[in-house]
């Protein structure tokens, strides 16, 4: 008999290295004669999309389109240390470093432009539509490109360097008290499953996933992280297990260590919640790891809802489900 | 202007055209192929290591053992306790024993088969709960318990006395592999200035550089690590796998060396997600408000430390789930065994506790006749909430919004469920 | 020693003639002899699909074929799907829909999708899933890959 059930999983995740560990990213920026930009940062893109997001942050801060931004990442021969691509930290920590570095380069440019445009403070200028304009009097402007060339010819160097440290405090080793991580990310996922009580097989029919990411710099990328996180959570709860015999891995192959294929995956509905983190770049905090947390408990709770037995020992294989059903009888 | 826009991947063009260079896609004229000999035993002493036959095989450029390492023979993200090549004591299966660089992969493979190792097998322990006992075989002489973090908040005994419902259960999670699709690979060479260059897929080029300099006993500025396109990582590329081996072979032969792992070797070489044994006792009032929580985590660190202390700390800090609990007692342990070492994997110790705490929430709700949404809503963190470690969540606590969004998508009548 | 043999095939529209060891896999010829490194090895046992190429229009795991098994056949690798200035609609769609993360499965996914659409220009979502079910992806959860292929099918673009 096939029985359906629905389950929910709520989770949270402290991002960053945490516990007072030096959690620092550094970025360099250089604006060229034609207004195009080079960013240097040590941040590795493992495929999750940090390079794209960091480019967007630089473009936004400088008021230019992203196709004017080139970024070189993760070469110790030319990029500064930006920490590990881990702990859901690159958008937040390196994003902040790039934002600060761009502000420094921009300040030099605007100081030159303020003189050129006869403004008494750079606060009176705005960069938009390829121009540096006087606020409230946009008729007075200079193209961004011309400003960069002239400012550099006048002897300025439009460069910026900045480091950003994510704050975290060590916990007390006696009672664990402290503020070990910042910021925290939150998520809820609800799963609907169908359990075949004859075979013990679980089919996940639907997952709805909502993640609080502070601000989605690139919503499609955020969705991709959530969908990929659901897949890993599903694999973890139902399929995956490194099997050991006296410390030896007996299934070191994709034929015996099963990860989800497209046919194991349900349709996933994602909801991006933007709570705005004031310390994050444009309100952003990370999404990578938090996105994989909620699917597994949601699926396990859905199995319980469907057939009235709990699998408390992962993964919830058909064998374990049949055994649990047998015990229940 | 660009924030909030779904711009396509910066590096996407190379990836859809096959032009993106992953580490195995680099070749150099005159490069050697590097291979690793790994031990088949989990706990042993090396009595004799004979590489002479392998060295005399035609086409073998170099055979490297622990004695050939110019610098420190140890690596690790916190403690450098993992051997680059085992000198005498094997602590887990697949520990690297020797390296070969040869003119072809086939010759390198053949050379590995010619290396003779004599072992004395030693007692081993494979379950962290066993490894905590006084009479357990020792993985390390200093003891098997690598880390213990207690969290104490309020008075749990009092909390449980005041609870209307208490549920108590055991949970366990399994060992898991990152299974990133691109197996480890690297190419190293000496550049025109005499410095070492390594192209590799990693999560942190600057850390790899530090580890390499320490192993080769050279200055950090003599090493350049360039990240190739990374075919997924998920935490599995934080610890050294072939970075040090490839660099050693190049440094000792002064020739380009390429190493590429098979899927099998990839499984054997990199870290795993911690299996964690969890005990949970959770109490709440009849209104469904959590009042006390007691949890124990015993995590299998395997033979080497990697990030284990940080991971079990993370388990402890996240033990309550995203809920306010006034009285909390948590003990988290990272324990060495002779299993493959465990380390970072997406979720990093915060992934295992939800298997337990979310089950407990459903069980409490069932006892009280509450909807699963209701018990979560009534305890959910919001701005100003205090965590188990006494941290006040001052900003950006979007948990309730995520609860509402998902519940509404399922058509739950949330107005009636608060 | 294993002897060498002459190998001839059309690879990405060009005639190729090589002397190769008889036991060489197709993936090794493509990567190590022809420099076509867009074909990826993920498992070496036909489980992951990263090494997929098209042989006379049909998708095959190039890690499971000896090169001599495709003697005189027409082989398409990812490098032959487009040039930099002229992307295949599937490639554009993968970029537009965010179907690419780490990119290691991407060449295989694209080629399997091309084979599908060449035969069945308007597949259902289920047919797309079945077609790519031999190709593993660890990053995306597959949603956006299916979306990207569907979008091309809906447009009815065929080349």
C-alpha–C-alpha distance, residues B8 and C98, integer Å: 7
Residue C138 has its nearest CB partner, among A253, A255, A259, at A259
Q: In the CATH hierarchy, which top-level class contains the domain C89-155?
A: mainly alpha
**Min Cα separation B242/chain C (Å):** 17
pLDDT of residue C156: 63
B1 domain-assigned: no
How does pLDDT run across B275-285, given as a tens digit for each residue? Answer: 999 999 999 99
CA distances from residue C127 to A32, B291, C98 in whole angstroms, order as listed: 50, 51, 21
- Of B217, B249, B269, the last residue of a domain is B269
B19 and B109 part of one domain: yes
Closest CA to B159 of B283, B295, B281: B283
The shortest CB-CB distance from B179 to any of C31, C78, C138 is to C138
Spacing of C-alpha A227 from chain mean position? 13
Question: So what's the pLDDT on residue A158?
Answer: 98
Asked whether the predicted pLDDT for residue C158 surpasses 60, the reply is: no
Please tell us whether the domain made up of A2-15+181-328 is placed in CATH 3.30.365.10: yes
Q: Is residue B4 included in any domain, yes or no?
A: no
Question: Over the stretch A217-231, which tens digit does the pLDDT of each residue have?
Answer: 999 999 999 999 999
Q: Give yes or no for residue C159 having a pLDDT over 50.
A: no
Pairing of strands A202-212, A184-196: antiparallel
pLDDT tens digits for B57-81? 999 999 999 999 999 999 999 999 9
Looking only at the bridges linking them, the beta strands covering A37-41 and A69-73 are parallel
Looking at the fold, whether B112 and B236 belong to one and the same domain comes out as yes
Q: Which residues of C touch B (CB under 8 A)?
A: 31-32, 36-45, 48, 50, 77-79, 81-82, 84, 87, 91, 94-96, 98, 100-107, 110, 136-139
> For C28-45, what is each residue's pLDDT tens digit?
999 999 999 999 999 999
Nearest residue to A68 via CA among A145, A134, A131: A145
Backbone dihedral region of C148: left (phi > 0), alpha (psi from -120 to 50 degrees) or beta?
Answer: alpha
Query: Residue B403 domain-assigned?
Result: yes
Task: Assess A88–C contact: CB distance below 8 Å, yes or no.
Answer: no
Q: Give dist(CA C90, CA C109) in Å, integer.
A: 10
Of C84, C102, C110, the CB nearest to B230: C102
Q: Burial letters for B207-236: b for 16+ Cβ neighbours within 10 Å, e otherwise? A: bbbbbbbbbbebeeeebbbbbbbbbbbbbb
Q: Is the interface score ipTM higher than 0.95?
A: yes
Closest alpha carbon within chain A to B349: A13
Residue ranges of the domains in chain A? Answer: 2-15+181-328, 24-165
Domain CATH for B385:
3.30.365.10
For chain A, the three-class secondary structure string (H helix, E strand, C coil) is: CEEEEEEEEEEEEECCCCCCCCCEEEEEEEECCCCCEEEEECCCCCCCCHHHHHHHHHHHHHCCCHHHEEEEECECCCCCCCCCCCCCCHHHHHHHHHHHHHHHHHHHHHHHHHHHHCCCCHHHEEEECCEEEECCEEEEEEEHHHHHHHHHHCCCCCEEEEEEECCCCCCCCCCCCCCCCCCEEEEEEEEEEEEECCCCCEEEEEEEEEEECCCCCCHHHHHHHHHHHHHHHHHHHHCCCCCEECCEECCCCCCCCCCCCHHHCCEEEEEEECCCCCCCHHHCCCCCCHHHCCHHHHHHHHHHHHHCCCCCECCCCHHHHHHHHHHHC
By CB atoms closer than 10 A (0-12, 13-18, 19+), residue B254 is exposed
The pLDDT tens digits of the residues spanning B187-231 come to 999 999 999 999 999 999 999 999 999 999 999 999 999 999 999
Which of B42, B402, B403 to mutate to probe the A interface, most A CBs <10 Å?
Answer: B402
Closest approach of B58 to chain A, Cα-based (Å): 31
By the 8 A CB rule, do B416 and A296 touch? Answer: no
Same domain for B108 and B41:
yes
> Looking at the partner chain, which of B18, B179, B234 has a beta carbon nearest the beta carbon of C79?
B18
Residue of C nearest to B10 (CA): C95
Could you tell me where the DSSP H helices lie in C76-142?
89-96, 106-119, 125-131
Kindly report whether the peptide bond that precedes residue C118 is cis, defined as omega within 30 degrees of 0.
Answer: no
Distance CA B115, CA B54 (A): 6
- Tell me, yes or no, whether B315 and B408 share the same domain: yes
| Among candidate residues B208, B214, B343, B325, the one with its CA nearest the CA of residue B275 | B343
Instruction: Indicate which CATH number applies to the domain containing B101.
Output: 3.90.1170.50
Question: Start-end ranges of CATH 3.10.20.30 in chain C?
Answer: 4-80
Q: Are residues B296 and B347 in the same domain?
A: yes
Measured distance CA(A161)–CA(B186) in Å, rounded? 31
pLDDT tens-place string over residues B289-334 = 999 999 999 999 999 999 999 999 999 999 999 999 999 999 999 9
Q: Distance of alpha carbon A126 from its chain centroid, rounded? A: 29
Fold of A24-165: Aldehyde Oxidoreductase; domain 4 (3.30.365)
Cis preceding linkage at B172, omega within 30: no
**From-to residues of CATH 1.10.150.120 in chain C:** 89-155
Give the integer Cα–Cα distance in Å for A13 and B339.
Answer: 27
Same domain, B133 and B232: no
Is the CB of residue B99 less than 8 Å from the CB of residue B249? Answer: yes
- Contact criterion met (CB < 8 Å) for A14 and B317: yes
Report the residue from A226, A232, A254 with minimal CB separation from C136: A254
For C81, the enclosing helix (H) or strand (E) is none
Write down the pLDDT at residue C118.
Answer: 96
Quick one: pLDDT at residue C84? 59
Find out whether C103 and B231 touch, Cβ atoms under 8 Å. yes
Res. C106: pLDDT tops 60: yes
Question: For residues A215 and A229, what is the distance between their CA atoms, to the nearest angstrom?
Answer: 18
Q: What is the pLDDT of residues B124-133, one digit of tens each?
A: 999 999 999 9
Question: Chain centroid to CA C48: how far?
Answer: 12
Is B164 in the same domain as B204?
no
The range of the structural domain enclosing residue B330 comes to 128-176+272-416
User: What residues form DSSP beta bridges with C25?
Assistant: C66
The pLDDT averaged over each successive group of 10 residues in chain A (329 residues) is 98 97 97 98 98 98 97 98 98 98 98 97 96 96 98 98 96 98 98 98 98 98 98 98 98 98 98 98 98 98 98 98 95
How many structural domains is chain B composed of? 2
Residues of A in Cβ contact (< 8 Å) with C144: 220, 223-224, 227
Query: Cα–Cα distance between B251 and B254 in angstroms, integer?
Result: 5
**CATH code at C4-80:** 3.10.20.30
Per-residue model confidence (pLDDT) at position C157: 53
Q: For residue A208, list chain C residues with Cβ-Cβ distance below 8 A.
A: none
Does C91 contact B16 at a Cβ distance shorter than 8 Å? Answer: yes
- Alpha-carbon distance of C101 to C81, in angstroms, equals 19
Q: Euclidean distance between the first and final Cα of chain C, in Å?
A: 44
- Are B235 and B356 in the same domain? no
Place of tokens 């924030």: B3
B339:A8 CB<8 A? no
Chain C contact present for B182, CB below 8 A: yes
Q: Which residues pair with B185 in a beta bridge?
A: B260
Nearest to B371 by CA among B343, B410, B334: B410
Q: Please list the helix, strand and coil fractions of chain B in percent, rounded to the nearest 5, in that order.
A: 30, 25, 45
Q: Residues of A234-265 as b/e, b for ≥16 C-beta within 10 angstroms? A: bbbbbbbbbebeebbbebbbbeebbbbbbebb
pLDDT confidence of residue C1: 59
pLDDT tens column, B331-380: 999 999 999 999 999 999 999 999 999 999 999 999 999 999 999 999 99
Answer yes or no: is pLDDT of B93 > 70: yes
The mean pLDDT of B95-117, rounded to a whole number, is 98
Both structure tokens of C35: 């420099």
CB C52 within 8 A of CB C88: no
* pLDDT bucket at B1, cuts 50 / 70 / 90: confident
Question: Which chain A residue is nearest to residue C100, measuring alpha carbons?
Answer: A47
3-state secondary structure of C84: coil
**Res B208: pLDDT:** 98
Q: Is residue B116 part of a domain?
A: yes
Is residue B125 within 8 angstroms of chain A, CB to CB?
no
Searching chain C, which residue's CA lies closest to the CA of residue A253? C43
Burial of C108 (0-12, 13-18, 19+ CB in 10 A): buried
- Domain-embedded: residue B201: yes
pLDDT higher than 80, residue C117: yes
CA-based nearest residue in chain B for residue C104: B231
Residues with Cβ < 8 Å from C92, sequence gap 6 or more? none
Listed in sequence order, the residues at least 6 apart from B270 whose beta carbon sits closer than 8 Å to its beta carbon are B177, B178, B184, B236, B237, B239, B241, B343
């Amino acid at each position: 008999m096939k029985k359906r059930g629905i389950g929910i999983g709520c989770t949270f995740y402290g991002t960053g290295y945490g516990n007072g560990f030096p959690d620092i990213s550094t970025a360099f920026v250089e604006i060229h004669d034609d207004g195009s930009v080079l960013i240097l940062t040590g941040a590795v893109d493992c495929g999750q999309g940090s390079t794209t997001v960091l480019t967007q942050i630089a473009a936004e801060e400088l008021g230019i389109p992203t196709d004017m931004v080139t970024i070189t990442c993760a070469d110790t021969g030319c990029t500064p240390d930006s920490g590990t691509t881990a702990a859901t930290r690159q958008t937040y920590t390196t994003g902040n470093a790039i934002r600060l570095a761009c502000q420094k380069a921009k300040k030099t440019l605007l100081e030159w432009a303020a003189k050129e445009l006869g403004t008494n403070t750079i606060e009176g200028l705005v960069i938009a539509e390829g121009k540096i304009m006087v606020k409230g009097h946009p008729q007075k402007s200079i193209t961004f490109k011309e400003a960069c060339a002239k400012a550099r010819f006048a002897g300025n160097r439009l460069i910026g360097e900045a480091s950003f440290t994510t704050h975290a405090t060590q916990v007390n080793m006696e009672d664990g008290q402290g503020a070990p991580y910042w910021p925290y990310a939150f998520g809820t996922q609800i799963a609907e499953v169908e359990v075949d009580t004859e075979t013990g097989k679980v089919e996940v029919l639907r997952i709805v996933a909502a993640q609080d990411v502070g601000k989605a710099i690139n919503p499609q990328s955020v969705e991709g992280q959530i969908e990929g996180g659901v897949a890993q959570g599903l694999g973890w709860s139902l399929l995956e297990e490194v099997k050991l015999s006296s410390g030896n891995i007996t299934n070191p192959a994709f034929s015996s260590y099963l990860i989800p294929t497209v046919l194991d995956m349900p349709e996933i509905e994602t909801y991006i919640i933007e709570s705005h983190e004031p310390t994050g770049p444009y309100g952003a905090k990370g999404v990578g790891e938090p996105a994989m947390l909620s699917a597994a408990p949601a699926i396990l709770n859905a199995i319980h809802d469907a057939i009235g037995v709990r699998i408390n020992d992962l993964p919830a294989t058909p064998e374990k489900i049949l055994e649990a059903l047998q015990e229940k009888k | 202007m660009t924030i909030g826009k779904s711009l396509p991947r910066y590096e996407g063009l190379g990836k859809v055209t096959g032009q993106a260079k992953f580490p195995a896609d680099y070749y150099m004229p005159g490069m050697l192929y590097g291979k690793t000999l790994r031990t088949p035993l989990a706990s042993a002493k090396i009595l004799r290591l004979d590489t002479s036959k392998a060295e005399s095989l035609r086409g073998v450029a170099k055979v490297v053992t622990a004695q050939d390492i110019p610098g420190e023979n140890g690596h690790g993200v916190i403690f450098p306790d993992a051997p680059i090549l085992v000198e005498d004591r094997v602590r887990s299966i697949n520990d690297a024993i020797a390296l070969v660089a040869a003119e072809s992969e086939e010759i390198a493979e053949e050379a590995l088969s010619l290396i003779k190792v004599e072992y004395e097998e030693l007692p081993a322990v494979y379950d962290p709960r066993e490894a905590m006992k006084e009479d357990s075989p020792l993985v390390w002489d200093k003891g098997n318990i690598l880390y213990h973090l207690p969290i104490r908040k309020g008075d749990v005994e009092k909390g449980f006395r005041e609870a209307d419902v208490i549920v108590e259960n055991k949970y366990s999670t399994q060992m898991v592999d990152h299974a990133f699709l691109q197996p480890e690979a690297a190419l190293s060479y000496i550049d025109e200035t005499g410095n070492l260059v390594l192209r590799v897929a990693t999560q942190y080029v600057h850390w790899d550089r530090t580890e390499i300099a320490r192993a080769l006993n050279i200055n950090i500025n003599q090493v350049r690590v360039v990240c190739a396109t990374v075919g997924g990582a998920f935490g599995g590329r934080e610890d050294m796998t072939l970075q040090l081996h490839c660099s050693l072979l190049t440094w000792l032969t002064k020739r380009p060396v390429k190493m590429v792992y098979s899927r099998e070797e990839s499984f054997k070489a990199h870290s795993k997600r911690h299996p964690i044994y969890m005990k949970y006792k959770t109490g709440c009032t009849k209104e469904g408000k959590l009042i006390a929580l007691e949890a124990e985590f015993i995590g299998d660190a395997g033979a080497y430390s990697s990030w284990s202390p940080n991971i079990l700390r993370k388990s402890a800090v996240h033990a309550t789930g995203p809920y306010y609990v006034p009285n909390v007692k948590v003990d988290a342990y990272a324990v060495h065994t002779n299993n493959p070492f465990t380390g970072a994997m997406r979720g990093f110790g915060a992934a295992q506790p939800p298997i337990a705490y979310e089950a407990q929430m459903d069980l409490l709700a069932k006892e009280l006749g509450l909807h699963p949404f209701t018990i979560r809503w009534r305890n959910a963190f919001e701005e100003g909430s205090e965590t188990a470690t006494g941290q006040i969540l001052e900003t950006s606590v979007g948990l309730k919004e995520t609860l509402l969004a998902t519940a509404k998508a399922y058509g739950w009548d949330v107005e009636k469920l608060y | 020693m294993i002897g060498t043999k002459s190998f001839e095939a059309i690879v990405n529209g060009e005639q190729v003639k090589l002397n190769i060891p008889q036991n060489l896999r197709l993936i090794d010829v493509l990567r190590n002899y022809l420099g076509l490194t867009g074909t990826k090895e993920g498992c070496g046992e036909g489980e992951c699909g990263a090494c997929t190429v098209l042989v006379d229009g049909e998708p095959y795991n190039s890690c499971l074929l000896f090169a001599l098994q495709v003697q005189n056949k027409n082989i398409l690798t990812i490098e032959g799907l487009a040039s930099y200035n002229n992307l295949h609609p599937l490639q554009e769609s993968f970029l537009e829909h965010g179907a690419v993360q780490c990119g290691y499965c991407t060449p295989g996914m694209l080629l399997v999708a091309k084979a599908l659409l060449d035969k069945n220009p308007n597949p259902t979502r289920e047919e797309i899933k079945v077609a790519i079910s031999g190709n593993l992806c660890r990053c995306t959860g597959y949603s956006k890959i299916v979306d990207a292929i569907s979008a091309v099918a809906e447009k009815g673009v065929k080349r």
